[in-house]
Amino acid sequence: MSVVATVVLFNPNLALLKRLYKSLYNQVDSIVFSDNSEDRSIKKDVKNWINQLISSDIIYLDLHKNHGIAYAQNKGIEVAKASGAKFVLLLDQDSALPDNMVSDLMTVYISLITVGHKVATVGPAFLDEKTSELAKVIRHRKLRVHKSIPNQSNNFEVADYVISSGSLIPIEVLDEVGDMDEQLFIDWVDIEWGMRAKRYGYVSYIAPRVIMRHSIGDEYVKFGHKNINLHTDFRNYFIVRNSIYLSLYSKLPLNFRIIQLGKVPLYILFYSYHSKKRLYSFGLLTKAVIDGILKNMGKGHFK
C-alpha cells in the first residue's frame, strides 16, 4: 500500500531535518516537504540540501510564507491524493522515526480493519526528547480527561486523537472526514481532526510498541508531579484562541467543548506567569479570547 510522507517545515534546524530524512526515506514511497519557512537564509540552505538529494521521490513545495501547519499539511495531502497513494504519513521537521515504523503502523492498521474496525489513523507512542517521558493517551469521559501512559504490552490503544507527527492516515478517510482545518492555523489541528473523525464513526489508535522521538514545546516546567510543556507567546495565542473558537462554535462533542472552555482561564494565568514578558502575554491571550469569540481566525492577531 503506497504511502506518501508530508513533512511540514518552518525555519527548520537542518541537522534535525537530515536526521528525520535519514530515518524516513526508505520507509515510504515518496516525501513531500511542505515549506512554510520565512527565513530566507534557512530556506536557501534547505533547498540546496534537497536539490543535492536528486530523487524523483522527493517533492519540495515552497509556500512562500507561513500559512500555518494545517495549510502545509493539506498541500502535502493534495500531492498524495494526486499520486494515487493510499495513505499519508504526517510528520514534523524535528521528529525521528524508529526502524520499520511505517510497516509496523501498517501492520496494526491491517489487524484492526480485518476485524471490522473503522480506523481514522494509527500513530506511534511519543517519547518527548526533553523530558524522556512517553506522551499520554487521551480520552474524554463525561467532564473529565483520562490520561494514561501507553502500555507497551498492548498491540494498540484507543485514543480520542493522536499527535499529528507520525500519524498514518488512509486517504479514503480524509476523503470522507475532510482535510485539516486551515483556519486554526497551528494549534489544535490534530485534535480537531481526530475528534471530527470520531463523529464520523472512526477511531484513532496508538501503537504503544512503536516509539518515535519528538520534541513537544520549547521547554518545560514541573508543576506538582507533572512536566508541563511551554511554548512561545505566539503559540500560546493560538492555543487559547482556538480553544475558545472550538468550544463555542464547533460540532465536536459537548463534553469536550465544556472541558476546553473551562481550561482557558488556566491557560491564560499559567502561560502569562511563565512568559518572559508577562504583561504582554496576558494582553495577547486576552486578545486571543476576543478573537476566538469574534471568529477572527487564520493567522489572527499576527496578520
Predicted confidence band of residue 200 (pLDDT cuts 50, 70, 90): very high
Q: Per residue in 10-52, pLDDT tens?
A: 999 999 999 999 999 999 999 999 999 999 999 999 999 999 9
**139 forms bridges with which residues in the sheet?**
146
- Whether 185 shows a pLDDT value over 80: the answer reads yes
Look at the block and give the residue holding cell 476485524. 115
| pLDDT at residue 1, as a whole number | 73
196 close to 252: Cβ distance less than 8 angstroms = yes
Q: Per residue in 86-119, pLDDT tens?
A: 999 999 999 999 999 999 999 999 999 999 999 9
Determine the Cα–Cα distance for residues 58 and 297; give it in Å rounded to an integer.
32
Taking the CB of residue 172, how many other CB atoms lie within 10 A of it?
Answer: 10
- Whether 303 shows a pLDDT value over 90: the answer reads no
Taking the CB of residue 27, how many other CB atoms lie within 10 A of it?
Answer: 19
| pLDDT at residue 224, as a whole number | 60
- Whether 79 shows a pLDDT value over 90: the answer reads yes
- Whether 216 shows a pLDDT value over 80: the answer reads no
122 close to 155: Cβ distance less than 8 angstroms = no
Q: Per residue in 255-298, pLDDT tens?
A: 999 999 999 999 999 999 989 999 999 999 999 999 999 999 99
- Whether 193 shows a pLDDT value over 70: the answer reads yes
Determine the Cα–Cα distance for residues 285 and 243; give it in Å rounded to an integer.
11
Predicted confidence band of residue 84 (pLDDT cuts 50, 70, 90): very high
